[in-house]
Each structure stands twice: as C-alpha cells, then as structure tokens.
Structure 1
Amino acid sequence: MAASAAGVGMRVAAVETGPVREMARAERVVSLEAVVTGEPQATGAAARQVLLVRARAEVVQRTRVRVPVLLIAADRRWSGLVPSQRVRLTARLTVPRHGELLAAAAVVRGPPQVLGPPSRVQRAAEEVRVKLRLAVEGLPDDQRSVLPGMVVGDTSRLDTGLAEDFRTAGLSHLLVVSGANLAIVIGAVLGLCRLLGLGRRWAPFAAAVAVVAFVLVARPEPSVLRAAVMGAIGLIALLSGREKQGLPALCAAVLLLVLIDPSLARSYGFALSVVATAGLLVLAPPWRRHLRRRMPGPLADALAVAAAAQFAVAPLLVMLSGELGVVSIVANLLAAPAVAPATLLGALAAVVAFAELSLARLVVWPAGLAVGWIIWIARTAADLPYATVAWTGGALGAFTLLLAGAAAFVILRWRPARLIGAAVMVGVLAAVLALRVTAPGWPPSGWALIVCDVGQGDGLVLAAGGERAVVVDAGPEPHLMDGCLRRLGVRGVPMLILTHPHADHVDGVGGVRRGRRVDMVLTTSRSSGKESRLLGGLQVRAAVPGQQWTIGDLHLSVLAPPEGPRLSSDDDGTTINNASIVLVARRPGFSALLAGDIETEAQQALATNVPPVNVLKVAHHGSRRQDPAFMAAAHAAISVISVGKDNDYGHPAPATLTLLRHTRTRIYRTDQSGDVALLRAMGGVSVVTRR
C-alpha cells in the first residue's frame, strides 16, 4: 500500500504539474517535440477516422519536459509512424478526460515532421511486420487481414464488420496479442528442443529467446508485456502441474505490474488478462479432471480451458458491454484446433520472409486455411439468433451475473434443486421453441420496409422484389449497414438514396457496396458533393420534387428539397438537414413517408403537400425541432425513430415523443427494438422488431 501510494503520487504529480499541464489548462496552441511510444490506433467511422498516438513530450515551446501525452491527429500520414520515432508538431493542448495519467491531450494540426528514424530494434520489428503483410498478399481479403493480427497483433487491415463478428462470437481475443499467443510459441519451441535432443538446461534459454523476439516483433507496449507475463505464468503452472504455485505467482505479477504502471489498475484489458489467467489456474484443473471421467482427455482439456476462461471473464465483459455471450464457449472450442497452426505457420512465414518471400507465401497458404476456418466460425456464431443476450451493464450487471452463477452452482450440487432446475429449463426451452415456430423469423416474410439499427444515424431498406432492395441512407458505420443487409439477404441495390451529406447518413456507404451491385445513387439536388468520395464508379443523379421511380411494385415519389443554392462546407447543420430528400414510398397496401433530417422550417413548407401514409420515419432522429402540422398531416398509424442508444444529442426529445402520442401513433425506436420491420397485414401494417 505504501509503495502504491508513493508510485501513484509521483505519477500524478508528474502529469498534473509543469508547463505542459499549465498550457493544457489554457488550451494553448504550441510547438511540440515528442517521441512516439505506441502504435497509432485508428478510431471513429471510416470517413471521420482520427488517429490516437501515445507519445512522450520532450520539448514544448523550447522548454525541456518529459511527460506522457496523447496525440489526436486527422492526417493519415500519422499512421506510418513507428514507436521510438521523434517528431515535431503543432497542436492545441487540452486537459485529458477520464483521469488518465497524461499531462495533456494534443489535437494535432497537419502531418508529423519526422526528426529521426526509429531505433534499430523497432526498425527490425517493423521490417518483420511488413514482410508478413507482403507474404499474406495472395490470401483472400479476410484471411489477409486476420492472420497478421493473430501472429503479431497487426490489425491495420481488419474490416470493422469482421471485428464485430469476432467480438459477438467471443473470439476477439484472437485478434490481439495475448498470453495464448505466447503459450503457443513457448510450447512449439520446447517441443522443437525436445526433438533436437536439447536437455532441460538449454530448452528454457531457447524459449526465453523466442519470448523476447516475439515481444519485440509484436512491439514491447504495455499490453504486449502484460500478455507475456500472464501467458508465461499460466503456461508454466499448467505445464509443471503446480497450479497452487501458479496463483501466488500471478498475484505477484499483478502487484509488480500495477506498481510499475498504476494506470493498469483501471484498465479493462489488464483486468481481462488477469481473470482469464486466474480462470485457467483455478477453474480449469478441477473441471478438466471431472470432464476426463466422461470424455476423451484432449477434448476434456480443450473444453475445460475454453469454459474456464470464458466463465472468468464473463462478469467483466458484462460490465463493459451490457451483453452476455451465449455461443462464446462453443465458438472457442471449435476454433481452438486452428489457432495453433495459424499462429505457428504465420510466425514461421514471418521468419522465412526475411530470406525468401515466395517461400513464405507457400508457408502462409495452410495458415490461411486455418484462419479461414476461424473466420467461418466467427461469422456463423455471430449470425446465430441469441448469439448475445442483453444484460444489465456496469457493476449491477456483474453482480447479478455472479448471483446467477451461484444459483447455477447450487442447482448443480443439490439433487432436488437439479430436478427443479431441469424442469424449469425444459419449460423455458419449450416456450422458446414454440415462439420460434409461431413467431415470424428474421426477416419476417413479406416485409416492405426495414429500419435498420445503425446507431445514431439512418439506414432504411425498401423491398424491391427477389433479393433486391432500395436503400435510403447508410448510417455512420459500413459494418452495421452491411450486417443489416446481410440479415435481409439483399444482394442487389437498384437505387441508393442519400438524403443529405451528413456522416451519420453516408459514411456507411461502403457497407452497402460490399459484395453488392449498386445501379444508381440519388442525392439531394443541393448536395455539396461531400459524399462523392464514397461513390466512385457509380451513376449519380440529383433528386428534384416531382420525380417518380418504379422498381417492381415499389413506387417512389420525391417531395423535397426544392431547388436552391448548393450546400457548402460553411453551412450549419440546420441548413444541411433542411436540404434532405423527402420521399413517399408506396406499394399495394403499404405507404411510408421518409423525412430525412428536415427540421421545423422545411417541415412547415411541406405540411400542405404531405399525403396520408401508414408509416412515418420521424425526421432527424426525433429531435425537438418538429412541426406539429407536418406530423398531423401524415396521419401515420406507426412512427419509427432511427436513433442511437445513449446518444449525446438527447434524441429523441421528450417534447417530440409527447407530440407523437398526441397524434395517436404507435412509436418504435431502434435504440430499444433493434431493426424494425414493417409489413403489409389485413387492415393495415404490422410491426416485427428484431430485438
């Protein structure tokens, strides 16, 4: 406790005093020299990505300092930096949020001015990573992006949709450098030493060299170092059969790492590493012994390890995401046989690539097959119904999950409780099966309109016959829109309509285009052209009032916007919102008014021209800027609000919800119901929600 208090006190004093923090409080624009200490990480939607670069500030306004800072850059040239490089930059300093041990967050202007090359060690590590990327060029896209992540933690090419599938399936730990990677490497080296006849004296040295090389190639960042420590402890304990000694070693390692870097104490990644290792040490051995009485030894070992790790991390994952993974144990069990071949062959390819790139490409081919199996498991598991179950997040969610685990333990240990529990489970299973038989699946048969849950944005799909659909807006993230279209089985898009060039409506265009033919794009006649960066090679037309389109039995009529001056980058959000395309979609027995993001002024101008419809897509995610006459004119029995959960804008506004209730419409929200399907029914329109 004394060491912790002293260590944290010195760290806090270092970052909260001195010229850098003073300038951050004043939000000054300064000239800064810094040394990059971490891999640049991209965050945000595709078209709005920023790069987060951890660095150590060494000179600020000609004053020598030595404090950690976080660089926030929009220029893509920052992504090419390697840890240990020294750069000069101009940035606006701000005080970091969330209590991080940083002197400042620096919002960077322009590209970096590189003052020197990286260190020899970092240059060598980067060369290995580059060679591995070249070696996997001949593999399919998905395998090419996943294999470097499994081997050295290089996820620079990883598609966000595929990353989300791995997360849903409980396999995201395979995409980062973890203790499992190190365990595989050490195990392979020890096995090779045994084949070569090296005694116990030399094998540990060979394993140590392999560990050092692995850590250097994967970059000796805190996450890699802690994974190395955790993986080594878990492996040594399991190989030696000394699980009781493994737990004190784990505790000692945790104490040491937290004293060295106090910020680890509030890191979810560190906590997950610790509890996963603890699960392997505490839960896996007795479970393995118990399972071996009922099944073959290798299968018992694999099941015990997968189950122990998943059970251990489940409370933390619930705290973090508010979801409980149902398929993760099975997915990990099925993926496990392919993890070691993929990791080892990928590592071998990285080494061979130094001498002969063509030979390395042969080595990665079987590795690609193993990775392909893992990718298939991830996608299949993620697409299963109830792959994840909503659960209360935060500390309450973790506590209730632990209570549920305790109840399950009692049920399994006490025979009368087992009988009662079995009866309850049979009843629940029967109810679920009955619901699956009697309730419509997803998508429900005969759907006319799907309002996709794309977070804080719009993404709507209108059935156009067969496997074709008209898409109206694409949301903020490609993988969310692609996932919605994949669930609907949409393979062709005869028309993509982008109501206005705001990021939450256009940045997901890549997801619409992924594996699908888009025949034509309709944009607002007043567009600034900002969305054109996403539309390369596509036919683009401008929408004008009175335009009509017929695709199969779907009829589209454009109501707005009226012709006017083109938008510019200086226009405010209201001006751009009011330039949205507004259209009416009709088919036999169904009609919908799709209002884009128009606000009060544009709604008032349109109120007298709005036809009665079955469904109203509420404008601008339910913001408070709504015209009562516009809503009343639609006479919609059903209103749908496309909105993100816990968004920063306060959408939907309470006043808007009250206004909708006064029109006696049924209200559905994507943040509460997920994807919302609207379909023709006897006497009107019915609604099925995916959640």
Structure 2
Amino acid sequence: MRAGSVVEAGRAGATESPDGSGAPGKAGGVRDSGKGRGAHAAHLLLPAAASWVIALVLLGCPAATGAVVAGLTAVGALAVAVLVRAGRTAGRRNAVIAVLGCAAAVAGSVAFRVHAAGTGPVAELAGRHASAVAEAVVTDDPREVARRGGPFRRESFVVPARVESVGTGADRVRLRAPVLLFVSGAEWRSLLPSQRVEVSGRFGPADPGELLAAVVLVRGAPRVLSGPSWEQRAAGALRSGLRKAAEVLPPAQRGLLPGLVVGDVSRMDDQVRADFKAAGLSHLLAVSGANLAVVAGAAVAMARTAGLPLAARAVLAISAMVAFSIVARPSPSVLRALLMGGVAAVALGTGRSRDGVAALSATVLGLIFFVPDLARSYGFALSVFATAGILVLAPRWRDRLSARMPRWAAEAIAVAAAAQAAVTPVLVLMSGQLAPVAIPANLLAGPAVAPATLLGFVVALVAPLHLGLAQLLVRPAGLATGWIIEVAGHTAGLPLGVLPWPGGVTGLLLLAAAVPLAVLVLRHRRIRLIALAAVAGLVLAVTVAAPIVARWPPRGWLLVACDVGQGDALLVAAGPGRAVVVDAGPDPVRVDRCLRSMGVGEVPLVILTHPHLDHVGGLDGVFRGRAVGAVLVTPRGTGDDAGEHEGVRLSEDLARRRVVEWAASPGASWRFGPSELTVIGPVTEVSPTGAGKGAAVNNASVVVHVRWAAGSALLSGDIETEAQAELLRRGLPRAEILKVPHHGSGRYDPAFFAAMGARAALISVGADNDYGHPAPSTLATLYRLGVRVHRTDLSGDLAVVDSGGALSVIPRRSAPAGGAPVRD
C-alpha cells in the first residue's frame, strides 16, 4: 500500500524494478497489452476470489462442512468438464471448471486444517481447560501486548508456537499442534523463532475461525531447551545490530527505523504509532512488497551499472529479496511479497512483461490454499486490495491527471489515491471510518520511505561487522525517518482527516451505494464543480469558522480535565505554554494528545496522587518532548503491599529519567502563573473498613486545593469515604469546582460533598467502563446539592475558565441529549 510508481509494461518489454507488492518500481504506468492478456488475468482472478470467499466462510465452520463443500464443488467441476462441450463457450467452461476446482481444493485444505486443529491431545486439554507441561517451538517473534500501565506493569507477550510434546516422563505424548502462548516477563522478549522451550500453563480453546489447537496461559518463565537455527540466529543478529546502531538517533526515530526496515516495532513510541494510524501510514510498519521493491531495485540498478545481462540481474534481485526476507522473518506478508517479487524477477530474467493482476491472483490463490487462515487477516486483505488498486485504477487515473499536470505528479497522486480507494472497503469493515488524510500523508511520506528502508537495510548488514560505521550510516536514515514522523504528526490532526462512517456490513453497503453516486457526480462537469464548491465550503467551515465559534483551547483556561478514558489527567494553568499535570491517566498517547491540544510544552510540576495504573500509566506521554521540573508523589507506607510495590517501580522510573521526586506533605504550596496550589492531603490516619482491594492506596491520594483570582477547585484523587470524613473533620476549604473522587465511585461521604459548596463537578471517567462509574447514588447526591455535573465520557475534555470574574466549565463537545448540562 506504499505509494510508489506504476510499472511501465508493454512498450519497453521487461521491467527493470520488480516489486513484491505488484506495485511498481519505476515511473510510467501499466499499459493494456491486449484482450488475451486481460482474459488470462480474469481466468486467474475468478478462482482466487472464489477461493478467498470459500476459505473465509469455512474457517468458521466444522471440518465436516468443509469436506462436504469440497466434495460438491469437485463433483461440479467434473460434471462441467464431462457434460459441457468445448466450443465457442470454451472460455466460460474453463473458467467455471477452474473456479469449482480451486474452490474444492481450498475447501479440502480448510477442512483438513480445521479437523487437525480441533482434534488431538492439545485440543482435548483445551476443552477441559486443563494444565500441563509442554515442549513448544517458537514460530514467530514474541509480540508485545499494548501496556496501558506504561512502565508500571509487567511486560506481556503473545508468542505463536507449535507444541511438539505434552506431559512428562512416561506420560509424554509426541504431536504437532499450533498454539498461541500468552506470557509475561521480559525474558520472553529475546526468544527467536525456531527455539525450543518447555512451558507450563493452562490450555484453553482458541477463538472460532482460528486454526489453533489451543491458547495457553503460561505460568512463569520459559525453560530454553535449544537455540535458534543458524538463519534465525543470523537474522536476530542483524536486527539487533540495526537496533544498536539506531541508538544514536532521537527516541522517536530509533524506534521507527527498525519498523520501517524489517517490521520490528518493539521500541516504537506509542504516540508515533497512534499518529501513523490516524494518518493512514500504518502500512509502512508491515514488511511488504514495497520493502522488497526497494532492495531488489537497488540490486538491479547495481547489476545494470555493471553491465550484467537480464538473467544475472534477475538472479541478483531474487538473492537480495531472499536475504531481506530472512532478516525480516518469513511472515505471511513477507512470503506474499517474496512470491510477487519472484514472479516479477522471472519476468525480468526472461525479458517478458508481466501481468500484475494475474501474478497477484496466482499469489493469492497459492497463499489461501497453503495458509487458509490468511483469508481472515485484515493485514493480508489491505495488502492485496492496495496492490490491486495500484494495478487497476492507478494507470487510468494517472492518464487522466497527466493532461492537467506533469506526469510524475500525476503518477504519485494516482498511486496514493488508487491504493487508498481500494482499501477503503476493508477499512470500513475494520474500524468504521474513512481516512482521506491518508492520500496527502502518503504523498508526503513516500519519497522518504525508500532512502530510510535501503539505508536501514545496509546498516543492519554493516552493524555486526563495524558498529561505528553503521552509526554513521544510520544518521541519514534517521533524517528520512524524522521526516516521516513529522508528516504523520501533522497530518494526523488535520480537520476532516478521518471521517466517521458506519462500520461492518452496514457501512459496506452504504459505501457501495455512495460510490456510484460519487462517480455519477464526477462524470458531469457542472455537477462536479458544484460538489467541489460544497466540499471546499465544508472544509473552510471546519478549518476556519469552527475554531472561531468553538475555540479550543478556550482563551484563558485555568484547569482542564483531559478525556483519557477510565482514569484521571488534569492540567492546571502555569503560564503560557506551561501546566502543572495532576495524574497522567492510563494511556501515554491520550495524555500527550491532551497536552498538545492545550499547547503545553513545559511541565514545571507533576503531581501523581497515588500509584494506580489509571493515574500513572500514561506518564510517558507527559515526558514526550517536554521538560519536567519535579514529580510529587504520595509518601511511602500509606498504602497496601501492592501500592508499595507500584510506588517503588514509579520511583525507579523517575530515577531513570533523572527527575526529582518529592513526597507530598500537607501545607506545601506553589505558585505557577495564575494558579496557587496547596497540598491538603494525603491523610495517613485512616484505615478502610469493608472496602475492596486498593482502598488503602486510594485513601492515601494526594489532595490539592487550587486557587485563582476567580475562584478555586479541589482535586481529590481517588479518596474514599474514610479519607473524605477525615479531611472534613480537619476543616475542608471550600471550592467552586470539585474533581469528584474516584471517578464518581459509590464510596463517598455525602457530608464531604455538602461541605464543599461546589457549583460544578468534574468526573473523569471512561465510557462504558466495567466499574459502574459514576455511581447513580453519587450523581443523585450531587444533583440534589445543586451541583452541575460534567463528565469526560459524555463531553470529552473539560476546561475551567475565568468568565467575567467567575469560574465556568466549557466542554470540548456537547453532551448527548439527556446527559449532563454543559455549562454553568
């Protein structure tokens, strides 16, 4: 799906830059080389499409169903071959035979694999949810599970593997069964494919449609029984060398470069990952035909410079692609790209132009037959649809655009637009959205992809031999990577960059109805001009008028409750471009996004009320690109053992960052810009009675009173009934704004709310959370006291501003009908 150029075929004969994606390696475009070739492509396209649909459906069915479908389609193919004579309808006859024959083969393949995955000792263990000791061979790199706890939660991984024995001693049973291991612990990160390990865990059934015998919840660390194979060891050394060489780059670049080159995203920054997703650039992180096109194109260019014949160029291109595939690991996407690249290289070596659609169809057909679970892979679908769009749509669009602009510009726009248009149905099924921003993002990022990929691959080869030289070579690769990061960051926030659209089949049907209408509009000049004018007016309204009518951030904001899901993250104004951060929420990406939206580039003080993940898990996002002065935490010894453990890990993380850590003490105060902050908690003399786990840590929350010229606010962390009562006994300062404790939990003291005298309450809470927050009794009490309630799950970010000498709450979006009021 990477923007590139479309291959010129037909006029010059052979292509000089084979591409594993079926996309182009050289500027020009695909020419129609005749009806026979088109018919040949169609004969392969129909069986490939039918096989994909058959596999997609049968993967969720019992093996017997697949066997029946295989039998019926095989009989049908035989009947057509015997009963229908070859004549003027020979083409249609052969096409039907091909479709039915391929459908029979794929149905039989799926039935065999479903039966194999659903039977045997491992499947029996899964059916009983039994525990056992097993020997397994790792079949792919451990994939880290996204951690909402940032550095404060144990690393977790998903490890694809093949179980080869179950049990111990005389009870050991030999077998071969694919499984998925769910594991935790940093020791799993270093495992390489082909390593044999012994694990102990509980077996459970896999999700329907997955060709797995079981999923295994592994207990403890693996016992490594053997090392990796030589090729995996070599690939691991090269990937490790690339990571070491990239250490000289800034953090965002050093994490992204291995992802661009070999798909290694183990160190990628969460915010960069989120920007890539929003900008439609996530495909750059998956090794595909574009990577192989760059490597093979460089090999062919060197061979051509040396004057080698076509056959030698093809051999060199294939060798380069095979070497790259070993380094990148032969995942399904790499295998597909390698097959496509091999087809293109053979065409190059024989001097015959290739039919991209036919090659793509043959590749899809072969992969679905041998790896049928790809039929349900969105990644596979995105790759195939993008390649098909570039092959089918891009040449026509390029030719139309060439009449209005230079051919190279038309080529670039056509490829990016065609790829995005082709993958739109898949994106609608996946996430229910349209992403027009992906076209300009790919156009801008595209020129930097090839240099980053090629230089990164060279660095991976050089690093094991001479790390110093590799670190010199990696710097220009870092510049190219930095450009891509900038493009992603700026395009991710563009107005109308991502448009909401119904997801699933409903969205797909609406898209199918909208496309013909759009084509009809674009075909008529007058209607097209009217539509373009309407779109331009809409864009102008969103980009210019909307910020004037509903400015964000609000001018003169004093406090912001960030919408970070189920957690707390508050910003207290500390002067232009500065804010005190009170808690960091569970997600680094969301708290960083909130800080960026408010224009905060410096944080003189971070206050972490207590070490629970929904308050400290997003700390990485606060530090991203910002200077942080100090961090205030609750004193040690004020919570339970779990809280103490998390507090220790928090201290270790702050020490690693070389940031000063202070223990909160009631009475401490600071003045930052318009805000005066005074610590009035934690309360250490309380012990929860009848409360759930974690109440002791909640009651030890740092409580802060913030005063401005226009009024004050109380930021209460997660304190519960006991701490609230103790603060009330000591004498609670009044405040116009209350950050409701513990996301509106039902464990509260009504007298605490009454004594506050608040006019507005902010509840930081995640939509449809599992805790029942906010509790109906809490909301009823606040309403009874005449307090206006504002919730982040209903209104997004909430800003407190000085409105004519009084405090007012402005939401980023209006609450739905029946929700909380949106303004004091």
TM-score above 0.5: yes
The structure number with the bigger radius of gyration is: 2
Cα deviation code 1:2-45 (max 9, x no counterpart): 33333223222222222223323433332221100011111122
Q: Which residue of 1 aligns with 2:247?
A: 137
Aligned residue number for residue 430 of structure 2: 320
Alpha carbons 1:180, 1:231 under 8 Å: kept: no
Aligned residue type for 1:203:
R
- Counterparts of 2:563 and 2:192, CA distance in 1: 37
1:34 counterpart (132, 136, 140)? 136
Supply the distance in 1 between the matched residues of 2:451 and 2:543 (Cα, whole angstroms). 38
Query: What 5-or-longer segments of structure 2 have no aligned partner?
Result: 1-102, 815-824
Instruction: Pick the aligned partner of 1:587 from 705, 708, 717.
Output: 708
Asked whether the equivalents of residues 412 and 443 of structure 2 are also in contact (C-alpha less than 8 Å), the reply is yes
Match status 1:533 vs 2:666: no
Q: More displaced, 209-218 or 247-256?
A: 247-256
Confirm whether residue 489 of structure 1 aligns to residue 489 of structure 2: no
How do 1:442-457 residues align onto structure 2 when only pairs under 5 Å count? 442-457=552-567
Say which is worse superposed, 437-446 or 467-476, in terms of deviation.
437-446
The answer for the alignment partner of 1:368 in structure 2 is: 478
Aligned to 1:677: 799
Which of the residues 107, 110, 114 maps onto 1:12? 114
Deviation at 1:268, TM superposition (A): 1.3
Q: Does the 8 A contact of 1:492 with 1:518 survive in 2?
A: yes
CA distance in 2, matches of 1:561, 1:129: 48
2:333 alignment counterpart: 223
Alpha-carbon distance between aligned partners in 2 of 1:365 and 1:625, rounded to the nearest angstrom: 55
Question: 1:339 offset after TM fit, Å?
Answer: 1.2
> Which residues in structure 2 correspond to 1:265-664 (within 5 Å)?
265-432=375-542, 435-436=545-546, 438-525=548-635, 526-527=638-639, 528=644, 529-530=647-648, 531-536=650-655, 537-545=658-666, 547-564=668-685, 572-600=693-721, 602-603=723-724, 612-626=734-748, 628-653=750-775, 656-657=778-779, 660-664=782-786
The answer to whether the 8 A contact 1:519-1:538 is kept is: yes
**Secondary structure at the residue paired with 2:459?**
helix
Separation in structure 2 between the aligned mates of residue 17 and residue 464 of structure 1, nearest angstrom: 64
The letter for the 2-side match of 1:689 is R
Distance 2:427 2:740 in 1: 34
SS in 1 for 2:310: coil
**TM-score normalized with structure 2 length:** 0.77
Q: Deviations along 1:199-258, whole A, 9 cap, x unmatched?
A: 222222222222211111100122322343466679999999979x43343233223222
Partner of 1:687 in structure 2? 810
Query: Structure 2 vs 1, CA of residues 582 and 307 (structure 1 numbering), >3 Å: closer, same or farther?
Result: same
Structure-2 change in CA distance of 1:452 and 1:390 (3 Å): farther
Q: Which of these residues, 312, 317, 332, is aligned with residue 207 of structure 1?
A: 317
Deviation string, structure 1 residues 536-580 (Cα, Å, up to 9, x no partner): 24433333555544434322344444214799xx98133433333
Q: Residues of 2 paired with 1:170 and 1:234: CA distance?
A: 27
Alignment partners' CA distance in 2, 1:249 and 1:671:
49
Instruction: Confirm or deny: 8 A CA contact 1:477 1:508 kept in the other structure.
Output: yes
1:472–1:433 Cα change, 3 Å: closer
Distance 1:412 1:660 in 2: 55
* Cα distance between partner residues in 1 of 2:347 and 2:705: 66
Q: Within 1, Cα distance between the matches of 2:521 and 2:346?
A: 34
Structure 1 pair 286–668 and aligned structure 2 pair: CA distance change class (3 A): farther
Contact 2:496/2:539 (8 A) holds in 1: no
Encode CA deviations 1:357-394: one digit per residue, 9 max, x unaligned: 43333333322222222122122222444443444333
Percent pairwise identity = 51
**Higher deviation after alignment, 658-667 or 8-17:** 658-667
Q: Which residue of 1 aligns with 2:125?
A: 23
Which of 1 and 2 has higher RCO (CA within 8 Å, sep 6+)? Answer: 2
Matched AA of 1:35: V
Alignment match, 1:60? 166
Which amino acid is the alignment partner of residue 532 of structure 1?
S
Call closer, same or farther: CA 1:499–1:204 in 2, change over 3 Å: same
Aligned residue pair count: 688
The code of the aligned residue for 1:222 comes to P
Q: Are the structure 2 counterparts of residues 140 and 575 from structure 1 closer, same or farther at C-alpha, using a change threshold of 3 Å?
A: closer
**Structure 2 residue matching 1:307: 3-state secondary structure:** helix
Counterpart of 2:24?
Answer: none
SS at match of 1:644: coil
Counterpart CA distance in 2 for 1:303 and 1:111 is 50
- 1:459-481 Cα shifts (integer Å, max 9, x gaps): 11101123332111111222332
**Alpha-carbon distance, 1:87 to partner:** 0.8
Structure 1 CA distance, aligned partners of 2:132 and 2:792? 44
Offset of residue 505 of structure 1: 0.8
Q: C-alpha separation between the residues in 2 aligned to 1:75 and 1:230?
A: 38
Displacement of 1:269 after TM fit? 1.0
Over 3 Å counting, the alpha-carbon distance change for 1:301 and 1:524 in structure 2 is same
Is the CA contact 2:314–2:346 (under 8 Å) kept in the aligned structure 1? no
Alpha-carbon distance, 1:120 to partner: 1.2
Q: Which structure 1 residue ranges, 5 or more long, are not aligned?
A: none
Bigger CA drift: 193-202 or 113-122? 193-202
CA pair 21-574 structure 1, distance change in 2 beyond 3 A: farther
Matched ranges for 1:35-114 at <5 A: 35-45=137-147, 46=150, 47-48=152-153, 49-61=155-167, 62-97=172-207, 99-114=209-224
- Partners of 2:516 and 2:348 lie apart in 1 by 26
